[in-house]
Structure 1
Amino acid sequence: MKIFKNILYWFLIVIALIQFIPVNRVNKPVDEKVNFVNVFATPGNVQQILKKGCYDCHSNETVYPDYAYLAPISWSIKNHINEGRKHLNFSEWGTFNKDLKKNMLENSAKSVKDYSMPMTAYIAKHPKANLTKAERVLLSGYLEEILKSGKF
């Protein structure tokens, strides 16, 4: 029993200390001229779908939940956001080259259709982000329409 208490004591000390390791949760400013929804004059209903299902990880408009301020959970969340932004950042859309934009549109449409995005783990904590079938059809159709137009 003494060993267990000792382990618990040191575990709590470590958990308390790691809270002081900072995580940068400051979003970069959004330049409206290069923001995806402005570049394409995206309809309001599609904008709502993007904001509820995509923007927390794929834009500079992340809204961090309360639990994102507790280490080591905060580290994992920030890592997921960084990875998401690396693969697609709607806030910086206009800065990408045409080949990259085409690839991002194709991957996004596919990911929405095959239910791999939004991620299941994200939906578990954010049930409102779970897109309905109709929303998935609308969003993937919108992305495919942009692809077909070639104006990306």
Structure 2
Amino acid sequence: MEIAGYEFTGPFTDVSKVPLDRRGVYVVVCLADGEVDCYLDVGESEQVGERLKTHNRKDCWEENAHGEIAYCYRLTSGTWDRELDVNPLQRVRSHSRSEQFGIEGELKWKLDVACGPNPWEEIEEYWEIYREYEAEFGPRAGADAE
């Protein structure tokens, strides 16, 4: 199945169909009449199936699903070949150039998910605060004034 330009395996309503100990990216979806109706969560893990089985956001998935919860995954390895700066809020900087973090970041940019943190939304919130300070106090010291 294609999600945001990437080929994923799934969707599976049975989490046991996801490999327990493989590195990759996952997307949790809501199925309505057998079709993806909405995206519930996006993440990455060194052990995708194990992460999904024991996920701390399961309650959020259930609260936001109006159909069946299903799991899609994409196994990854190596480094991300895109020439983009990493998300500045990436939680594990040493791995931020890995394929799984790159794909996860891109999916969080492209997909509107109901559950889990989205660093791009945090950046937007910080940007709004920045603009409020700038409007109140003028340009920040050291910032390029244009």
Common fold: TM-score over 0.5: no
More helix by share: 1
